[in-house]
Amino acid sequence: MTFEGENMSLQGRKHDAAYNFAYLDEQTKRMIRRAILKGLAIPGYQVPFASREMPMPYGWGTGGVQVSAATLTPDDTLKVIDQGADDTTNAVSIRKFFERTAGVATTEATDAATVIQTRHRIPEAPLTEDQVLVYQVPIPEPLRFLEPRETETRKMHSLGEYGLMHVKLYEDISRHGAIATSYAYPVKVEGGYVMDPSPIPKFDNPKLSDCPAIQLFGAGREQRIYALPPYTRVASLDFEDHPFEPSKADHPCDLCGSQGSYLDEVITDDRGGRIFVCSDTDYCRTRREAGHTGPQGAPDAEARS
């Protein structure tokens, strides 16, 4: 695809010359970059930043897009995940946005990416030290639904006063017999700040901790950036007698047979038919290409013919 004003060079791809590199102006990027550095220096603390209007609605990843724009270099390879999938509207349009405005290479393969922007999943494949994972965050404040006032939640974070959060988890147990929170499950970073990991399923929470990649979180509407440096200790909140349990559907993937990946339930007809498939499309495809087949999956070669 080419664009008016686009200038292809022999060295590689070029971004649409009508835009500054990666869309944002330089002063905005400096402001975001300063916030990212302070976020890395104070893991789990929400750094306020002057979020800009982006050419997409709030809720479509404006925070993640701004963090990615401030992070990308022309040499990067970008992957965008929307709820595990590379091929849904949000992922496709953000990938196209950066292909056009930053001229970066894009990929669907987790191991080929250097920057991964994600909405609500952490890839199944282990991340490496050479990768940056950028989360789109709707509500960055884990205490917001317990205490609506920003002045109060700031004070609670500064005092490490998280009793209210434990009361909420306790009420889950008293009502449902177990901690019913299944996504955006609150975590404690290095024994300090309580942090919202964005609405990832709690199945993904253990991957936050001791991760070799840099993890950045951007909330556009709420104007907050926070971060986890590599190998940061991240603990999901729990109780001694009700320890944290990452959960998933008790089923193998129907396409690739994986027992260990997070699954989406897909309704297949109007008679109650359903299948369970990997939420991480790249992981599922990689497994099928390697010859793994689930109960309902056709072998890869057959599926292609």
Partner 1 sequence: MHAQALEGGFTDAPTQAAQAFRAAMSAMARPGRIESADGVAPPAPVSPAAGALLLTLCDPETPLHLAGDHDTPEVRDWVTFHAGAPLVGAEAAQFALGTWAAVAPLDVYAIGTPEYPDRSATLIVEVAHLVAEGARLTGPGLCGAAELSLPETEAFRRNAALFPLGLDFFFTHGTRLAALPRTTRVEGT
The catalytic residues are 44, 253, 256, 278, 284
Residue 37 binds partner 1, judged by CB under 8 A: yes
Binding window for partner 1 (CB under 8 A); candidates: 34-42, 87-95, 171-179, 261-269:
34-42
Find the part of the chain contacting partner 1 (CB under 8 A) among 36-44, 77-85, 89-97, 293-301. 36-44
Residues in region 191-220 near partner 1 by CB under 8 A = 192-193, 212, 214
154 lies in the binding site for partner 1 (CB under 8 A)? yes
Beta strand residue intervals within 74-186, DSSP E: 77-82, 105-106, 115-119, 132-136
Instruction: State phi, psi for 197 to the nearest 5 degrees.
Output: -80, 15
By the rule CB under 8 A, 33 interacts with partner 1: yes
CB 218 within 8 A of CB 239: no
> Cα(188)–Cα(216) distance, rounded to whole angstroms?
16
Question: Distance between CA atoms of 242 and 255, rounded to whole angstroms?
Answer: 34
- Give min distance, CB of 216 to partner 1, in A: 9
Question: Applying CB under 8 A, which of residues 73, 182, 259, 296 lies at the interface with partner 1?
Answer: 73
- Alpha carbons 219 and 225: distance in angstroms, whole number: 6
75/269 with CB nearer partner 1? 75
Nearer Cβ to partner 1 (39/201): 39
Q: How far is the CB of 193 from partner 1 (least distance, A)?
A: 8
C-beta of 33 vs 285, nearer to partner 1: 33
Report how far apart, in Å, the C-alpha atoms of 11 and of each of 8, 38, 74, 96, 106 are.
8, 35, 11, 20, 16
- CA dist., res. 250 & res. 262, Å (int): 10
- The yes or no reply on residue 77 touching partner 1 (CB under 8 A) is no
Tell whether residue 48 is a contact of partner 1 (CB under 8 A).
yes
φ/ψ of 225, rounded to 5, equals -125, 135
Interface with partner 1 includes 155 (CB under 8 A)?
Answer: yes
Of 3, 93, 230, 244, which lies in the binding site for partner 1, with binding defined by CB under 8 A? 230
- DSSP conformational letter for 242: B
Q: Is 179 exposed, middle or buried (0-12, 13-18, 19+ CB in 10 A)?
A: buried
Residue 202 neighbours by CB distance under 10 Å: 22
Residues at the site binding partner 1, with contacts judged by CB under 8 A = 20-22, 26-27, 29-31, 33-43, 45, 47-48, 70-75, 154-155, 157-159, 190, 192-193, 212, 214, 227-233
